[in-house]
Amino acid sequence: MSTTPATTPPPQTRGISKEHRKVIIASSLGTVFEWYDFYLYGSLAAVIAVHFFSALAPGPAFIMALLTFAAGFAVRPFGAIVFGRLGDMIGRKYTFLITIVIMGVSTFLVGVLPGYATIGIAAPIILVVLRCLQGLALGGEYGGAATYVAEHAPHGKRGLYTSFIQTTATVGLFLSLLVILGCRLILGNEAFAEWGWRIPFLISFVLLIISIWIRMQLSESPLFQKMKEEGTRSKAPLTESFGTWSNGRIVLLALFGATAGQAVVWYAGQFYALFFMTQTLKVDPITANLFIAAALAIATGGFVFFGWLSDKIGRKPIIMAGCLLAALTYFPIFKGLTHYANPALEAATRDAPAVVVADPRDCSFQFVPSELKSHVTFNNSCDLVKNVLNARGVSYTNEEAPAGTLASVRIGERVVQSLNLTQLSGEDAGEAQARLTAELGSALDAAGYPMAADNDAMNKPMVLLLLTILVLYVTMVYGPIAAWLVELFPTRIRYTSMSLPYHIGNGWFGGFLPTTAFAVVLLTGNIYAGLWYPIVIAVMTFIIGTFFLRETKDVDITQ
């Protein structure tokens, strides 16, 4: 296990000065607006799937919408490299001015982008490009804001000061949910789904103007200004950060022993929980968003508390505890959500379990746009029944049948035989598929599988409690992470070095969590199977972080 090098920390300062308060508020507000822009897409993934991926069936369309959401995360590490280098060479302030402009403009353009029905395949392609621009901007934003605040913070208070930056992602999500809820309530679900979903994206232009004005009021980081005056800035921050084993090793440990686990806990506790509520448990979107918003409001103070606590007991024990608790309790918590949010679904799954009996070679993962359907067949008997089960959020098991057997679904004691559309054509195929869907739907109804969660049967206090626990895990792993990353790296390459592991962890390990988890669910038929992804990553981080990363709370970052 690594040990913390001996340091002689400067004396602590009392309270938060007026200048420090200005730095925290200005950096945090700008970052809140940027997260608002970024998370609008995630909050509206189901609606966007309808407008930009209408060529696909509902299940695959939602997965494609999540993949487009994940595209923004995929490019975040590249934004970290580009803007991290700029931040270490030209300064923290001007770099995250650039990033916020890119983010705001890209988000506004999503709001005016025509859908698939208007411009065809160009719509999702342009949408992916805009998401990538958002990801590049965010890749440069977080490292700049966290570094800027930490370099203003007095020794002994970096955990507390940077914890306000850590609240921005959740507050940005909270703000996006509030705006979406307001638009839904004012316009109604039908109008919102048709055109009102664009309004939250268009509002981002106003937030962009406010953000630019706020950022213009800031002065440069004192540590960077000192380096600039002394001529000690890095001339090659990328080489110094990643080209030497001494620093590159810390980058790798920070990724696998800190940010990867922190990321999956963050996205499982907020985004995946929201998608699980709406897509699997069929909770009304307004109700689900209200639950998540309430949980965020209750637990967000945890970011500041755990940031403050990390100044007392260290960053590592809090983050490791959050990862371990999440890994140990995700299955009971998500099963608890099913029990309290949709008890009818839980009862039907228990009393009349669904079993797909099919030749495995007859089953495929239906994940191809309509433009390529001439090369891929989705009319096999297994695919048809699994489509209906996935759309209803029904958990099922798979039973292997002899080769050539027509697929069937056993729901309790009732058996529904599928069909093979490859033997039919045109109108006959459409009518046959409609009959199969109706028959399978009737069997599910008779077995008690609900079309949607019943608000009256829902135990709302328990649902809120479970969601709040998930968000508290988020605050444990996320509250101290900025201070830990800042303290791991020297000032001259800090922006670059901390940004890359943070954005690979959050962009790749975390950002792909909803997509990966739902893909696992589609492949297995088990609505809880997707939880294995965050659990495995969280356990990996717990082990590596515990044994190989050092504690840093007493490090003097001015040296």
pLDDT in tens, 313-371: 999 999 999 999 999 999 999 999 999 999 999 999 999 999 999 988 888 765 443 33
Give the tens place of pLDDT for each residue, 81-91: 888 777 777 76
CA distances (Å), 224 to each of 87, 150, 231, 484, 495, in order?
9, 12, 10, 19, 10
- % pLDDT > 90, the chain: 36
Domain layout of the chain by residue ranges:
19-342+455-548, 351-446
* Mean of pLDDT values over 5-16: 46
Report the pLDDT value the prediction gives residue 374, as an integer from 0 to 100: 37
Radius of gyration of the chain (CA): 25
CA distances (Å), 347 to each of 250, 281, 301, 371, 444, in order?
49, 13, 36, 40, 12
Contact 80, 132 (CB under 8 A): no
**Helix (H) or strand (E) segment spanning residue 268:** none
- For the domain made up of 19-342+455-548, give the CATH fold: Growth Hormone; Chain: A; (1.20.1250)
Please count the helices (runs of H) and the strands (runs of E) in the chain: 26, 4
Q: Hey, what are 345's tokens?
A: 């679904």
The answer, yes or no, to whether residue 376 has pLDDT greater than 50, is no
**What's the pLDDT band for 173 if we cut at 50, 70, 90?**
confident
Query: Measured between alpha carbons, how far is 370 from 413 in angstroms, rounded to an integer?
Result: 36
* Mean of pLDDT values over 186-198: 90
Burial class (CB in 10 A: 0-12, 13-18, 19+), 539: middle
Query: Measured between alpha carbons, how far is 160 from 303 in angstroms, rounded to an integer?
Result: 9
- For the domain made up of 351-446, give the CATH fold: Glutaredoxin (3.40.30)
Spell out the residues 6+ positions from residue 86 whose beta carbon is closer than 8 angstroms to its own: 95, 98, 140
Q: How many CB atoms lie within 10 A of CB 461?
A: 9
CA distances (Å), 383 to each of 31, 335, 364, 408, in order?
44, 27, 6, 11
Give the tens place of pLDDT for each residue, 480-518: 999 999 899 887 788 788 888 888 888 789 878 887 888
- % pLDDT > 70, the chain: 85
